[in-house]
Amino acid sequence: MKENSNLDKKIKSITLLGSSSGRNAGDAALLNSIMADLKKLDPNLRFEIPTINPSFIMKSFSKYNAKPISMLPWHFSIKMLGFPTFLSVARTDMTIIFDAILFDRALYNPLFNFLSTLYFLIPFAKRKGKKIAYYNVGVGPITTTIGKKMLKKISEMTDLITVRDSQSIQILKSLKIPESKIILTADAALNNPPSIEEHVEKILSLEEIEKEKPLLGFNINVYIDTWVETGKEPINKSSFLKDIASVLDTVIEDLDVNVIFFATQHMDIPIISKVIDYIKNKDKVNLITNKKYSNQEIMGLLGKMELFVGMRLHSLILASAMHTPILGLIYQDKVRNYLKELNLEEQRLEFSDFNAENLLNVIKRSWYEREKIKKHLSIRIEELKKKAKETPRMVIDLLYKK
């Protein structure tokens, strides 16, 4: 189907279900990329986005004809579980599930887990004759019998399944979802457009970031290893933060670099600030947060790093999309899976191996190999960007399919 050819005269609409609070730069990048790519194929598309932060959706995405659907309690909603989301699904022509909301941790807590809500929402959508798509999703972890049952049911009802990593295929296959129904693509945020060079340079000056020295980016999150498998001892938070601080002090002195911390989720700001408190060379450290800067601005700044060390998946995705060499701190399978898709499995430090010495060694090794990693990313990232771009066409074809 050629772009915009043979499209129905009726304007089509899509409900986007995922994380859309505005607190996470990665989620914002996903929303932006998905809508931008779909609007290129059908400029008349309308979107409805269930959210606990309607003002964020209005401010950030009104250019895409995106309407926020309030999931706040006074609209009879507990996050996605409530009348607003069900009514949105009933109104629109298609429901898209995006990001990594298909897991069963805290399964019966609708404030945290969306899978149990989708278990009722997706059958409702199908009864209304709506089309359902997984849009470059990450699936799992799924560890409970009831969680597997729920995921299997909604996956069987889904008309289009595209996933961002091979591990998601394996999980769906284990639930007897036919492999022929599952298409491996890549994360949609890879195609998020960064801020222009001139604007990024302006931010560097505004933040008084010394550009004469190489920049090392760093990101951690509040979870540490709370998602590790049952039976494993979590890392002591205080020791973890102090180890990072001591390693960065050494790195600042040995490699003669400045360190830029990136908080890509509002909740991570306090724990990152705690690490900075422990660092002795504070004059060599800056903090960039998504409270102050947009996902496009953060992405542009990540492109200025010589090396980026990150925990949050989308901090690594946005950095690597700029061909910045990355090193992943593995707190969840999805981070490991992304490095596998990049063919950079060696660029990781598992929490089971975490200590100050190992962290320092892997940072230094990555630093000295950064040109090789960058060259590899310049090829692999472009391959993944093309794969991520396959999904919009499939979605539009499905949307207009009789």
Secondary structure, 3-state, 161-182 = EEECCHHHHHHHHHCCCCHHHE
pLDDT value at position 224? 79
Overall average pLDDT of the 161-177 stretch: 97
Three-state helix/strand/coil letters over 367-392: HHCHHHHHHHHHHHHHHHHHHHCHHH
Q: CATH class for domain 197-383?
A: alpha beta
Question: Which residues belong to CATH 3.40.50.2000 in the chain?
Answer: 13-184, 197-383
Measured CA to CA, the distance from residue 102 to residue 378 in angstroms comes to: 30
pLDDT band at residue 233 using 50, 70 and 90 as cut-offs: low
| Superfamily in which the 13-184 domain is placed by CATH | Glycogen Phosphorylase B; (3.40.50.2000)
Residue 222, beta-bridge partner list: none
pLDDT at 225 over 70: no
To 10 degrees, what angle do helices 370-388 and 313-321 make?
Answer: 100
pLDDT in tens, 328-379: 999 888 999 999 999 999 999 998 899 999 999 999 999 999 999 999 999 9
Task: Enter the tokens of residue 14.
Answer: 């899509």
Measured CA to CA, the distance from residue 300 to residue 2 in angstroms comes to: 32
pLDDT at 4 over 70: no
pLDDT at 318 over 60: yes
Residues in the chain: 402
Task: Enter the tokens of residue 324.
Answer: 């910045």
Is residue 295 within 8 Å of residue 301, measured between CB atoms?
A: no
Measured CA to CA, the distance from residue 75 to residue 59 in angstroms comes to: 21
H/E segment holding residue 217: strand 215-218
H/E segment holding residue 81: strand 81-82
pLDDT at 2 over 50: no
Instruction: Name the nearest CA neighbour of 172 among 124, 131, 134.
Output: 134
Mean pLDDT across the chain: 94
pLDDT in tens, 25-70: 999 999 999 999 999 999 999 999 999 999 999 999 999 999 999 9
Residue with tokens 């779909």: 38
pTM above 0.75, yes or no: yes
Kindly state the DSSP code that residue 72 receives in the 8-state scheme.
-
Overall average pLDDT of the 279-302 stretch: 97
